[in-house]
Each structure stands twice: as C-alpha cells, then as structure tokens.
C-alpha cells in the first residue's frame, strides 16, 4: 500500500470518528436543559372541579408548576406529582357528587440518572423506579407513568371516582 493510499485511509477514519462524536454530542446537547410544565392531559374526560364539564386538559387547575432539569453528565432532577382529593362525598346509589374540593398538587424534586435514546429518555430514580419520558420533538418531553383517582362519568351518566392516566408534558425553556 502506498503512502498516499495509507494517508487517504487515515483521513477517512479520522472523518468517520469525528462525525460520530459530533452526532453523540449533538444528541446530549439537545436533551440537556431546564423544562417547565406545558400541559397535563387525562386519558379520559374528568370533571376536575365538579362543575359538570368533563375535559381531558386539566392544566389550568394545577396551582403548582413542576419543572425538571436534565444535566449533561447523565443526572437529572424531576418532580414527583401527587394529586390529593379532599372532602368528597358521593350520594349513595347514584354516584353523583355532592361535595368536592379541587385537588391540589405537591411537587417535591428528586434526583435520578438517565440514558438518552432517540425516541425516549430512560430514568432510574433514587427510589429504584424505572420511568420513561418520551420525546415529542427536540423541545417537548412527556410522561405516561402518572395516574390519579378523579371523577369520570360512567355509561349510565353517573359520576364516579376512577383511576385515570395522566400525561405530563414539559417544554424546554
């Protein structure tokens, strides 16, 4: 092999290695940063504030604004959302709500590590849980691991308390 051909092979290898490192660095830089709550969707319509209106977007009812932070070194801080319903009473036999107070949320921040994949971020929490945030695009992450007991309407039109799935969407600041 001539020196010229050896030089071309070396240049090709150097080019391939530099491209791979750029792609890996670009991926890390895209996911890192601070995210704020964008939207909270529910898997089925709920009467969140007992006004008789059932809806799937309940963002406007939250008084807290949870955030998450994703760092370059594979660590993150994430909110743990707890929804508590206080003082509800259901009419016996019908399932209609008589008294209901709007739920409040708490958002303590916990530590975690993560692995960034093309379509999702896999999280190992400090409690040993494995959670997944999915990527809607380069600026929006969403979760499907949250749930709460909220008021829904059954097939006969009665209001009942039911466990529903929550999707929290976060947008990069």
Give pLDDT tens digits for 121-164: 999 999 899 999 999 988 999 998 888 888 888 898 888 888 99
3-state secondary structure the chain: CCHHHHHHHHHHHHHHHHHHHHHHHHHHHHHCEEEEEEEEEEEEEECCCCCCCCEEECHHHCCCCCEEEECCCCEEEEECCEEEEEEEEECCCCCCEEEEEEEEEECCEEEEEEEECCCEEEEEECCCCEEEEEECCCCEEEECCEEEEEEEECCCCCEEEEEEEEEEEEEEC
Give pLDDT tens digits for 83-103: 766 666 666 556 666 566 666
Return the CATH number of the domain spanning residue range 26-171.
2.40.128
Q: Where are the domains of the chain?
A: 26-171
């Amino acid at each position: 092999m001539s020196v010229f051909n050896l030089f071309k092979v070396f240049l090709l290898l150097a080019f391939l290695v530099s491209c791979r490192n750029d792609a890996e660095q670009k991926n890390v830089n895209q996911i890192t940063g601070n995210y704020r709550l964008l939207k909270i969707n529910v898997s089925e319509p709920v009467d969140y504030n007992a006004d008789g209106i059932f809806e799937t977007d309940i963002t406007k009812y939250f008084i807290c604004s949870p955030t998450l932070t994703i760092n370059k070194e594979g660590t993150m801080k994430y909110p743990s959302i707890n929804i508590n319903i206080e003082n509800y009473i259901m009419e016996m036999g019908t399932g209609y709500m008589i008294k209901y107070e709007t739920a409040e949320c708490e958002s303590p921040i916990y530590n975690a590590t993560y692995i960034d994949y093309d379509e999702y971020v896999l999280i190992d929490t400090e409690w040993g849980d494995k959670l997944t945030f999915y990527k809607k695009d380069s600026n929006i992450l969403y979760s499907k691991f949250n749930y709460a007991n909220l008021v829904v309407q059954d097939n006969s039109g009665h209001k009942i308390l039911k466990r529903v799935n929550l999707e929290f969407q976060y947008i990069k600041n």
